[in-house]
Amino acid sequence: MARKESWEMQLQEGLAKKDMIETVMLISAVDEVKVYLALGEFFLGNNTRWVFPVLERPSKYYTELLKKGGLDTSKISFIDVGTNYRVGSYIDSPRDMIELKREIVSIADRLMSSNPRPEKVVFVFGSFVTLALFNDNREIGIFVHELTLALRQLGVYMVFLIPPDDPIIRYILPVMDYRLRVG
């Protein structure tokens, strides 16, 4: 196994300190693909499932990348958003945050109700820059607020990956339980 970089150790130490039902704002300048690999390594244990909406690239890209990193992608429920790649769940446009929220909550609910029930369900979102191309920050803040309320009721652990100095931070900070800065 390759030696972990300092930001990876910082990430894993920060996440390990926290209970598994909460919302984490992960502020990082590290390449998001590297962060997704590190999160996958941390969370994709024996009985953990991910809900992972993707806006920048089709889920096929992330599936191949995460598999190359040694991760079991069968444990990930991808939601392709506006990518024209329709294998699993699909939302036409990043403008449709209501439908995106419904799909995320529906998948999380289905996973939490499955038999056998996963030990934990983790929602990972890092597409704020792309979402902001189609929506204003206030709308995104409302989306995150409503989404976190719904996912908390289901007992889903949430990680929101945000670049440093992104203006969305001030809109979503009130619903975050923990801020973790890495890199």
Question: Are 179 and 27 spatial neighbours (Cβ–Cβ below 8 Å)?
Answer: yes
Average pLDDT in the 152-159 region?
Answer: 93
Q: Give me the amino acid identity at 42.
A: F
Q: Give me the amino acid identity at 16.
A: A
pLDDT value at residue 159:
94
pTM exceeds 0.95: no
**Banded pLDDT at 3 (limits 50, 70, 90):** low
Average pLDDT in the 48-76 region?
Answer: 89
For 80, residues 6+ apart whose C-beta sits below 8 A from its C-beta are 54, 58, 59, 86, 87, 88, 89, 90, 91
Kindly provide the b/e burial profile for residues 106-117, where b requires at least 16 CB atoms within 10 angstroms of the residue's own CB.
ebbbebbeeeee
pLDDT digits 0-9 by tens, 105-147: 999 999 999 878 888 899 999 999 999 999 999 999 999 999 9
Task: Point out which residues pair with 79 in neighbouring strands.
Answer: 53, 89
Average pLDDT of the chain, as a whole number: 88
**Banded pLDDT at 102 (limits 50, 70, 90):** very high
Q: Which CATH architecture has domain 6-182?
A: 3-Layer(aba) Sandwich (3.40)
Average pLDDT in the 51-76 region?
Answer: 90
**Banded pLDDT at 53 (limits 50, 70, 90):** very high
Question: Are 30 and 7 spatial neighbours (Cβ–Cβ below 8 Å)?
Answer: yes
Of 175, 53, 62, the residue nearest 108 (C-alpha): 53
> What beta strand segments (E) does the chain contain?
23-28, 48-54, 76-81, 89-91, 120-125, 157-162, 178-182
